[in-house]
């Protein structure tokens, strides 16, 4: 194996061993919790990222991770953002969601009633391509293909309201970037004073200064209560939700997942046509509706207000991941990313969730500044796909450097590289494995 991180081989071996130990600590027999205390259940996009890491070191666990998540799938194809364990100190838990009362939701396992970005087809294809045993890989693809197809059909049927092919998120949690400054505008318009009484569990397990504010949490809870009262019926929610956003990150991940689902279809002799058509339509929507020439980035679109959300976050560069921009535009975006967003880390760089010069930047508060591994991994894949190998190598060096210096955290302070949020965080470990074992750009 070639050394690419600037550290001796045994240092890298130590990191691989430690990453596997983090995954082992969070593995609960059939699936992986994101971290020991703060997140005791299975989360949707976490499961996808975790499966990508297991794909390198434990294929059976990778399969079981995906299988467990899809046990929570609803009859209409929705893959819930949380599949609940029998127990766990987390709010809102299953008794608040009461999702099992909705038509088509499973009674067991209990689940939430909203979604997260659809990284799953991408995870499954990456797993299939790493498999050493062709026969078993094929059996797994046959097993999950109908599940993935139903999931994508749900997104393109229920979440795409317009001709533009762009999927909507109806809750900040659906973006995976809960308190991103992207949502300040749309959330600010929500009525206040209606929140049912509740007690936050996250503040028992995390530093409150690193978590969303009470006002933000109230809005999250309000939206859940609204969706619950609407019986989680997508047609009714589409009409009633005060929060509806066409999000750059979500749609970029969807385009890649559609392309990957088409590849899975080809592997098993099914028709890739519908998935390719979805990918084309959504990619065109990103290009036509979300590109902002003035800022030189892609912007989320606030559906209710019908205007772009002019906020530059790391996610603004996500269309690099599925290869949506032309190579000329991608080149300009990559330079802009380095100049405007990147922070230096250990001879490389990494991308904070929100720019250091932006008003409201907070270095250790969740999605308002810290560096997150998964978004950086997506950007890294984008840089590689366009052949921007020097940038990709520098980003990889920065990410590995963060973990080597500070351990496997949920997120990192871009001003000094210190780790914050949950410790022993599963997707940081899983995606570090992918970075280390996938070789250099
Ligand atoms: C709400 C599990 C999840 C991640 C999200 C991250 C955080 C949950 C929370 O943790 O969200 O879904 O309780 O804050 O923002 O991306 O999937 O790791």
Q: What is the pLDDT of residues 312-346, one digit of tens each?
A: 999 999 999 999 999 999 999 999 999 999 999 98
Number of the ligand 1 atom closest to the C-alpha atom of 374: 16
Q: Is residue 43 lining ligand 1, measured as CB closer than 6 Å?
A: yes
Closest residue by Cα to atom 14, ligand 1, is 178
Q: Is residue 173 lining ligand 1, measured as CB closer than 6 Å?
A: yes
Task: Report how far apart, in Å, the C-alpha atoms of 235 and of each of 33, 229, 232, 303 are.
Answer: 32, 13, 9, 16
* CA pair distance 18, 245, nearest whole angstrom: 38
pLDDT classification of 231: cutoffs 50, 70, 90: very high
Query: Is the predicted pLDDT of residue 270 greater than 50, yes or no?
Result: yes
Amino acid 335: pLDDT: 98
Residue identified by tokens 């194809």 is: 77
Q: Is residue 34 lining ligand 1, measured as CB closer than 6 Å?
A: yes
Total Cβ atoms within 10 A of residue 213: 11
Task: Report how far apart, in Å, the C-alpha atoms of 67 and of each of 34, 64, 72, 228 are.
Answer: 17, 5, 9, 26
**Which listed residue (46, 65, 168, 178) is catalytic?**
178
Rounded to the nearest angstrom, the distance between the alpha carbon of 178 and the centre of ligand 1 is: 7
Q: Cis check for the bond before 277: say yes or no (omega within 30 of 0).
A: no
pLDDT classification of 309: cutoffs 50, 70, 90: very high
Query: Is the predicted pLDDT of residue 9 greater than 80, yes or no?
Result: no
* CA pair distance 81, 330, nearest whole angstrom: 31
Half-sphere exposure of 75 (CA within 13 A, CB side): 11
Rounded to the nearest angstrom, the distance between the alpha carbon of 210 and the centre of ligand 1 is: 13
The two counts, helices (H) then strands (E), for the chain are 17, 12
Q: Is residue 45 lining ligand 1, measured as CB closer than 6 Å?
A: yes
- The encoded tokens of residue 347 equal 């001879």
Question: E strand or H helix at 127, and its extent?
Answer: helix 120-130
Amino acid 1: pLDDT: 30
| Backbone region of residue 428 per phi and psi (left: phi > 0; alpha: psi in -120 to 50; beta: other values) | alpha
Of the candidates 242, 384, 357, 347, the residue with the CA atom closest to the CA atom of residue 304: 242
Helix 134-158 with 273-285: angle, nearest 10 deg: 50
Q: Is residue 386 lining ligand 1, measured as CB closer than 6 Å?
A: no
Of the candidates 440, 329, 311, the residue with the CA atom closest to the CA atom of residue 380: 440
Helix (H, G, I), strand (E, B) or coil at 96: helix
pLDDT classification of 4: cutoffs 50, 70, 90: very low
Of the candidates 30, 51, 10, the residue with the CA atom closest to the CA atom of residue 433: 51
Of the candidates 125, 137, 182, the residue with the CA atom closest to the CA atom of residue 353: 182
Return the beta strands (E) in 126-249 as ranges: 245-246
Rounded to the nearest angstrom, the distance between the alpha carbon of 176 and the centre of ligand 1 is: 6
Q: Cis check for the bond before 109: say yes or no (omega within 30 of 0).
A: yes
Helix 134-158 with 59-70: angle, nearest 10 deg: 30
Query: Is the predicted pLDDT of residue 407 greater than 80, yes or no?
Result: yes
Task: Confirm whether 233 is a catalytic residue.
Answer: no
pLDDT digits (tens, 9 = 90+) for 51-108: 999 999 999 999 999 999 999 999 999 999 999 999 999 999 999 999 999 999 999 9
Amino acid 441: pLDDT: 85
Amino acid 10: pLDDT: 81
pLDDT classification of 119: cutoffs 50, 70, 90: very high
Task: Confirm whether 178 is a catalytic residue.
Answer: yes
Q: Is residue 183 lining ligand 1, measured as CB closer than 6 Å?
A: no
- The encoded tokens of residue 276 equal 């390719």
Residue to mutate (ligand 1; options 38, 43, 210, 411; most atoms within 8 A of CB)? 43
H-type helices in 268-370, by residue range? 273-285, 327-336
Evaluate whether 317 touches 337 at the Cβ level (below 8 Å): yes
Closest residue by Cα to atom 12, ligand 1, is 173
Q: Is residue 97 lining ligand 1, measured as CB closer than 6 Å?
A: no
Maximum C-alpha span of the chain: 59
Q: Is residue 401 lining ligand 1, measured as CB closer than 6 Å?
A: no
Query: Is the predicted pLDDT of residue 5 greater than 50, yes or no?
Result: no
Number of the ligand 1 atom closest to the C-alpha atom of 38: 13
pTM of the model: 0.97
Residue to mutate (ligand 1; options 97, 173, 200; most atoms within 8 A of CB)? 173
Number of the ligand 1 atom closest to the C-alpha atom of 176: 16
Rounded to the nearest angstrom, the distance between the alpha carbon of 200 and the centre of ligand 1 is: 14
Averaged confidence pLDDT in the chain: 96
Strand 343-345, strand 348-350: pairing: antiparallel
Q: Is residue 40 lining ligand 1, measured as CB closer than 6 Å?
A: no
Residue partners of 364: CB distance under 8 A and separation at least 6: 209, 210, 370, 411, 413, 418, 420
pLDDT classification of 395: cutoffs 50, 70, 90: very high
pLDDT classification of 133: cutoffs 50, 70, 90: low
What helix, strand, coil percent values describe the chain, rounded to 5?
55, 10, 40
Amino acid 134: pLDDT: 66
Rounded to the nearest angstrom, the distance between the alpha carbon of 125 and the centre of ligand 1 is: 24
Distance of CA 161 to the CA centre of its chain: 22
Query: Is the predicted pLDDT of residue 2 greater than 80, yes or no?
Result: no
């Amino acid at each position: 194996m070639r050394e690419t991180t600037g550290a001796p081989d045994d240092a890298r071996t130590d990191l691989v061993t430690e990453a596997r130990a983090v995954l082992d600590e969070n593995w609960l027999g059939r699936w992986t919790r994101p971290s020991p205390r703060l997140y005791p259940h299975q989360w949707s996009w976490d499961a996808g990222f975790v499966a990508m890491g297991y794909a390198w070191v434990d294929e059976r666990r990778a399969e079981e991770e995906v299988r467990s998540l899809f046990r929570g799938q609803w009859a209409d194809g929705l893959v819930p953002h949380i599949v609940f364990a029998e127990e766990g100190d987390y709010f809102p838990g299953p008794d608040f969601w009461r999702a099992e009362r909705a038509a088509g939701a499973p009674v067991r396992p209990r689940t939430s009633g909203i979604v997260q970005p659809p990284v799953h087809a991408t995870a499954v294809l990456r797993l299939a391509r790493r498999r050493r045993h062709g026969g078993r890989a094929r059996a797994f693809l046959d097993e999950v293909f109908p599940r993935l197809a139903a999931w994508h059909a749900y997104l393109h049927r229920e979440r795409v309201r317009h001709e533009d092919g762009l999927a909507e998120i109806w809750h900040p949690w659906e973006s995976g970037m809960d308190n991103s400054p992207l949502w300040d505008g749309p959330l600010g318009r929500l009525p206040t004073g209606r929140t049912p009484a509740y007690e936050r569990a996250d503040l028992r397990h995390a530093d409150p200064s690193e978590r969303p504010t009470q006002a933000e949490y109230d809005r999250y809870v309000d939206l859940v209560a609204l969706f619950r009262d609407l019986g989680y019926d997508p047609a009714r929610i589409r009409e009633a939700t005060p929060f509806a956003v066409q999000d750059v990150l979500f749609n970029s991940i969807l385009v890649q997942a559609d392309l990957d689902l088409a590849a899975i279809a080809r592997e098993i002799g099914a028709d890739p046509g519908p998935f390719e058509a979805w990918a084309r339509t959504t990619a065109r929507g990103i290009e036509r509706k979300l590109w902002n020439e003035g800022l030189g980035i892609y912007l989320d679109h606030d559906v209710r207000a019908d205007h772009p959300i002019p906020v530059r976050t790391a996610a603004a560069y996500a269309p690099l991941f599925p290869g949506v921009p032309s190579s000329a535009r991608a080149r300009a975006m990559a330079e802009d990313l380095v100049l405007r967003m990147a922070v230096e880390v250990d001879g490389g760089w990494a991308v904070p969730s929100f720019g250091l010069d932006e008003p409201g930047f907070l270095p250790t508060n969740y999605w308002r500044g810290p560096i997150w591994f998964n978004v950086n991994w997506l950007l890294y894949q984008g840089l590689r796909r366009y052949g921007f190998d020097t940038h990709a190598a520098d980003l990889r060096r920065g990410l590995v450097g963060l973990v080597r210096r500070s351990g496997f955290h949920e997120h990192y302070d871009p001003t000094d590289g210190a780790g914050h949020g949950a410790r022993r965080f599963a997707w940081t470990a899983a995606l570090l494995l992918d970075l280390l074992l996938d070789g250099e750009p």
